[in-house]
Structure 1
Amino acid sequence: MTDLRVRAGGTEPPVVLLLHGLGATGEVWSDLTDLLGPAAWIAPDLPGHGGSAALPAYSFAAVAEAVAGLVDPRGTVIVGHSFGGVIGLHLAGRPGVRAVIGLGIKVAWTADELAKAAALAARPATVFETRDEAVRRHLRVAGLDGLVDPAGPGLDAAVVRDGDGWRPTFDPRAFGVGEPGLAGLLATAPVPVVLARGEHDPMVSAAHLAALVPGPVDLPGLGHNAHAEDPAALLPLLTPYR
């Protein structure tokens, strides 16, 4: 079993399983978990991110298998951002899953985009002279520039010493997971699936989501990391399944 770093809180079921996007850590959900009150929640660092161990090789299915033990069979609502949303859809058939809410999942991939991701996956992690530089790279890769204070306390798991320098803990090989095959995952999902996006998310359009599910949700005024910009905007998406 993959060694995972997991944060958790609350006691009231169902469990809200929070799966972050590529390059981020479970801390990205901190402002949302503050709003969940007594609701039970779990926010892991996905494999190859933060304090969680790397995988020998990365695929969406392999990452989902690594975190599948966090699904509470008594009742779990999955909220996944981008990469984490695809992982959530891979978990949709696990016993106990009530619904999957996917936020900001990139649906359409060009051959050039996939080639660029594969090239990034082949590069070794960059080591920086200072922790501050490594933190800045982490925030840039995770799309959190300007949304998270680089001096904040929630970034300790995002960077690590490497020899005389520092590097993000994110394993760049995870860039190589490939095209997510969203249509197939949605076709086989046995539970309700909500797809949402920030109104200004450049990675996925409203038309892309509308071609896949009825009634996709646009979150007004928000971008790709809507959960970090305005975590309260996600609460109405959770309400029907809690």
Structure 2
Amino acid sequence: MSRIEMSGLLLSLTGNFDRKPLHILQDAWTKYHQDEVQRGATLPAFLTTDVPPILQKILKGRQVKGFSLSDIAALGRLIEYSTLTVSTMQNWVKRDFKDYLGAPRQGKKYSVNQAALLFIIDDLKAALDFESIRQLFRMIFLKPDIEEDDLVEPAQLYNGYSALFEEIKQSPLLQVQAMTARSTPKDYCLKREGAIRGAIEKLMNRLSHLTRQQKEAVKNMLMISAISVQTCYYQSVARQYVNAALFLDF
């Protein structure tokens, strides 16, 4: 699944999205099985699809309010370029990001926003150290133990930069703007940054209640997160090339 699909799934589970969880999963599955769909072989294709227990609950229409770390890891494995594991998240909730994640907030399970925060950390760690991530969280989520003062909820933030990443990836105009000045590395970076900032402005219309300073903090967070996702992509491609080189070394 793409991040925009996963973020939509999280928001839909809270009822704050215009699409149902099942429809999001159906579209995501269809996108990766277009050949089978066109040949009318959807049933055999789905029967060979590994469906994690957490998704089985959603497919059956059961209400899902919280997740175990195993559930979140299973969802993370579905996200492109993601490397999330249970052991990694255990370190985050118990030590590295304990102040922001804390104990499970849905009984013995983690909330949608806690799951989104884990996905955000996984994306940001591709480009930033943990202390930098914590400093960014202090700007966006203010007091760690109070959710109501967040400038933007983690699930909304995840959806925001996921949409930004998709727009950059799919828009020919943004790609052209970002790649037209390759005479020097500095020119290229400045051009790409300008293209990203233009896309961010569209997303900020949803947060009209924030002050100017708060909007700037969210804008910076969106840009950093979107670029970190691109870093995840390049790291994934690099790993694939390394694996190919080692495998083909006859």
Give the TM-score range, shorter chain.
Answer: under 0.3
- Give the strand-richer structure, 1 or 2: 1
Larger Rg: 2
TM-score by length of 1: 0.26
Larger relative contact order (C-alpha < 8 A, sep ≥ 6)? 1
TM-score by length of 2: 0.26
- Give the helix-richer structure, 1 or 2: 2
